[in-house]
């Protein structure tokens, strides 16, 4: 049984200009005081084709974590545009929030991110070299993808064995519902964000 379960992740300030920081409000519940800190990371996927372009936007330690429900805001700077392949600057990509305990990742929340020019003219005729200052980032907050991993919370040998013998399908993630919060301008679904034919994989 995981000691920490993520209750909600709210995407704040969305949509926003490309250069503005990412800001997530994360609430989680811990059913037992943790001996050590949790480590949270925001990873920006620069290109779908390769992990090479993944950028860890930030990683923070969160603690101390006594039993109970907690909440914090995780803010990270925008990705470095120079590390993003030009061909992938505009369009859909992914941002991941991961949490590890004792170096073991136990949850991963992913969001599709659409970078596009809000200016219709630019959208029609995008410049060859992407103009990041004009880009708008839109996180598809209504469709988070959650994966959970079984990890060893105790550093205990017996448990480790049990985990190894466990059915691999157990404890995998379930989609996280992210309730749109009023006043934050979260559209339920952004029209035109996803091509029709890709809906089947969501």
Partner 1 sequence: MDVAWSPHDAWLASCSVDNTVVIWNAVKFPEILATLRGHSGLVKGLTWDPVGKYIASQADDRSLKVWRTLDWQLETSITKPFDECGGTTHVLRLSWSPDGHYLVSAHAMNNSGPTAQIIEREGWKTNMDFVGHRKAVTVVKFNPKIFKKKQKNGSSAKPSCPYCCCAVGSKDRSLSVWSSIQGPWVQGLREPSGRGGLPSFRSPLPPLSFQLTCLKRPLVVIHELFDKSIMDISWTLNGLGILVCSMDGSVAFLDFSQDELGDPLSEEEKSRIHQSTYGKSLAIMAEAQLSTAVIENPEMLQYQRRQQLGQGGTAARETGATAAVAGVVNGESLEDIRKNLLKKQVETRTADGRRRITPLCIAQLDTGDFSTAFFNSIPLSGSLAGTMLTSHSGPQLLPLDSSTPVSFSASKPPTEPVATAGARPAGDAVSKDSVNATSTPAALSPSVLTTPSKIEPMKAFDSRFTERSKATPGAPSLTSMTPTAVERLKEQGLVKEPRPRDVLESSSDSDEKVPVAKPSSLSKRKLELEVETVEKKKKGRPRKDARLMPMSLSVQSPASLTAEKDTVCLSIPAPTLKLPMPGPQRAFTLQVSSDPSMYIEVENDVTAVGGLKLSRLKCNREGKEWETVLTSRILTAAGSCDVVCVACEKRTLSVFSACGRRLLPPILLPSPISTLHCTGSYVMALTAAATLSVWDVHRQVVVVKEESLHSILAGSDMTVSQILLTQHGIPVMNLSDGKAYCFNPSLSTWNLVSDKQDSLAQCADFRSSLHPQDAMLCSGPLATVQGRASTSGRQAARLFSVPHVVQQETTLAYLESQVAAALTLQSSHEYRHWLLLYARYLVNEGFEYRLREICKDLLGPVHCSTGSQWESTVVGLRKRELLKELLPVIGQNLRFQRLFTECQEQLDILRDK
Pick the binder of partner 1 from 82, 125, 133, 169 (CB under 8 A): 169
Segment near partner 1 (CB under 8 A); pick from 29-37, 115-123, 124-132, 133-141: 29-37
Pull the structure tokens for residue 57. 């936007």
Pull the structure tokens for residue 3. 């000691």
**Alpha carbon 134 to chain centroid distance?**
23
Separation of alpha carbons 132 and 174, rounded Å: 34
125 vs 157, beta carbon nearer partner 1: 157
- The neighbour count for residue 131, using CB atoms within 10 Å, is 16
Pick the binder of partner 1 from 11, 78, 135, 176 (CB under 8 A): 176
Q: Using the rule CB under 8 A, is 197 a contact of partner 1? A: yes
133 vs 167, beta carbon nearer partner 1: 167
Q: Using the rule CB under 8 A, is 137 a contact of partner 1? A: no
Pick the binder of partner 1 from 19, 104, 119, 185 (CB under 8 A): 104
122 vs 194, beta carbon nearer partner 1: 194
Looking only at Cα atoms, what is the longest distance across the chain?
62
132 vs 152, beta carbon nearer partner 1: 152
34 vs 135, beta carbon nearer partner 1: 34
Pick the binder of partner 1 from 121, 128, 164, 191 (CB under 8 A): 164
Cα dihedral value 99, 116, 194, 6, nearest 10 = 20
Separation of alpha carbons 145 and 30, rounded Å: 21
DSSP character for 179?
A: P
Pull the structure tokens for residue 160. 């480790």
């Amino acid at each position: 049984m995981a000691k920490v379960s993520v209750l909600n992740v709210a995407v704040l300030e969305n949509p926003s200009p490309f250069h503005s920081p990412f800001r997530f409000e994360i609430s989680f519940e811990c059913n037992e005081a943790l001996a050590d800190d949790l480590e949270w990371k925001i990873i920006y996927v620069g290109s779908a084709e390769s992990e090479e372009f993944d950028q860890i936007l930030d990683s923070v330690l969160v603690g101390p974590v006594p039993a109970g429900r907690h909440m914090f805001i995780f803010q990270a700077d925008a990705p470095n545009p120079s590390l993003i392949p030009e061909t992938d600057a505009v369009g859909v990509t992914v941002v991941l929030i991961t949490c590890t305990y004792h170096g073991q990742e136990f949850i991963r929340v992913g969001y599709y991110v659409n970078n596009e020019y809000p200016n219709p003219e630019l959208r029609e005729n995008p410049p060859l070299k992407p103009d990041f200052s004009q880009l708008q980032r839109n996180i598809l907050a209504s469709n988070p993808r959650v994966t959970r991993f079984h990890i060893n919370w105790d550093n205990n040998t017996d448990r480790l064995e049990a985990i190894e013998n466990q059915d691999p399908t157990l404890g995998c993630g379930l989609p996280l519902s992210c309730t749109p919060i009023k006043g934050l301008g979260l559209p339920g679904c952004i029209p035109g964000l996803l091509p029709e034919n890709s809906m089947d994989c969501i």
